[in-house]
Amino acid sequence: MRLCFLTNVVFLVLAGFLIVASMAFGVPVFAWLMFGAGIAALALAAPAITVPSRGRAQRGVDGIIGLLGAWTIVASMVFGGAVITWLGFASGAALVALALAGLTIHELSTERVVHSFEVRTTAPERELTGLQ
C-alpha cells in the first residue's frame, strides 16, 4: 500500500468526523474538535508536500489540504456561534472533496502502471498461432 493512498484515506476519515461532529456537538466542544482536525490536516499534509515521489498533482492536493488545515485552525479560534458550526462543516466537506481527488489521482497512476504491463505477442508468435 502506498503512503499517498493511506494519507488520503486518513484525510477522508478526518473529514467525515469533522462533518458529523459539526452537527453532533455543541459549539464550544466543536470549536476544539475543529482546531484539532485543522492541526491534524496540517501536520499530515506539510511533510507530504516535500516528497517528490508523490507526483506533482498529489503534492498540489496536499498543499491545498495544508492551506485548508491552516484556515480551519484560524476559523476555529476567530469565529463563534453558528458560524463556526457551518465553517467547520464546510471545511469537512472541502476536505472530503480533496481526499477523494487525491484517491482518484492515486488510482489513475495505479491504472497507468497496470496498463503498462499489457501482454504483447511478437511476430513469430503470431505466425505460430495463426493470428494476424
Task: Give the per-residue pLDDT at 5.
Answer: 84
Domain ranges of the chain: 3-129
What distance in Å separates the CA atoms of residue 80 and residue 76, rounded to the nearest whole number?
8
Residue 81's identity, in one-letter code, is G
Task: Give the per-residue pLDDT at 107.
Answer: 79
Question: Which residue intervals of the chain are DSSP H helices?
Answer: 3-24, 27-49, 56-78, 82-116, 123-129
C-alpha cell read off for 120: 504483447
pLDDT digit string (tens) for the chain, length 132 residues: 577 788 889 999 999 999 999 999 999 999 999 999 999 999 999 887 777 777 888 889 989 999 999 999 999 999 988 999 999 999 999 999 999 998 888 877 755 555 555 556 566 666 666 665
Task: Give the per-residue pLDDT at 96.
Answer: 95
Burial of 84 (0-12, 13-18, 19+ CB in 10 A): buried
Burial of 55 (0-12, 13-18, 19+ CB in 10 A): middle
What distance in Å separates the CA atoms of residue 89 and residue 117, rounded to the nearest whole number?
43
Verdict on whether the full-model pTM lies above 0.95 = no
What distance in Å separates the CA atoms of residue 46 and residue 16, rounded to the nearest whole number?
21
